Amino acid sequence: MIGTEEFWALIEASAAATAAPDERLAWLTDRLAERPADDAVDFAWRLDEARTRADTWRLWGAASLICAGLCSDDGFHYFQAWLVGLGRATFERVVDDPDALADVPEVRRLAGRSVDAWDDDEWPDWEALDYVAERAYERITGTVDGVDDAAAARGRELGVSPDPTDAEWDLDDPAELRRRYPRLATMFPLPAEEDEIGVGVWETARP
């Protein structure tokens, strides 16, 4: 069984083994594939639990500010996985106070640069972390796409998109972004103020 402590130990051990995202994923998949199939399901379960804690409008707003408004449902889902990949201490601090992302080195390296200039590996998303448990489960059992069914049989439907339960607010409101994230707002451009016809826009775009 993989509990919460071991889940975070595996995430952090992968970062200690290699800094390359793809190599981290391979490392995690190899470690899980050496274990019983239930452990791969446990890993997916623990990732889902962590995501649930990070699934807030408070954190979505911070992610959107960093990414110049380019943070769709999928984008925020992958952002949550990226945040998990930073390790438990950073995850806990940022979930408690999203403006603490201003202290994260991976975020600070993005400040002052257009999103057009970010390399793919620099984007704060880690979609492929979702595939680790699936790939390990397939290697163990020979069953493709079996983790979701196995988790459901144990009483948990794994989330596939954000579903925040805290109070929703306008993530494109410059004044609100400045109030909620005073530190991040000094590092990343705020959305353009509403023009004369009342349409607010973000000034940059991801290719």
> pLDDT tens across 52-105, in order?
999 999 999 999 999 999 999 999 999 999 999 999 999 999 999 999 999 999
21 domain-assigned:
yes
**pLDDT for the residue numbered 191:** 87
Quick one: pLDDT band at residue 194, thresholds 50, 70, 90? very low
Considering the domain boundaries, does residue 196 fall inside one? no
Q: Which domain holds residue 26?
A: 4-160+171-187
Does the residue 201 lie in any domain? no
- Which residues 6+ apart lie within 8 Å of 22 measured at CB? 128
The answer to whether position 129 is within a domain reads: yes
According to the model, what pLDDT value does residue 193 have? 56
Q: Is the pLDDT of residue 203 over 70?
A: no
More confident position, 114 or 205: 114
pTM, two decimal places: 0.91
Please name the residues in contact with 201: beta carbons below 8 A apart, sequence gap of 6 or more.
191, 192, 195
In a domain, 206, yes or no: no
Please state the domain count of the chain. 1
| Domain contains 145 | yes
Compute the average pLDDT of residues 108-137: 95
Nearest to 84 by CA among 26, 119, 42, 130: 130
Give a yes or no: residue 166 inside a domain.
no
144-181 core/surface letters (b: 16 or more CB in 10 A; e: else): eebbbebbeeeeeebeeebeeeeeeeebbbbeebeebb
pLDDT at 205 exceeding the cut of 50: no
pLDDT in tens, 8-43: 999 999 999 998 999 999 999 999 999 999 999 999
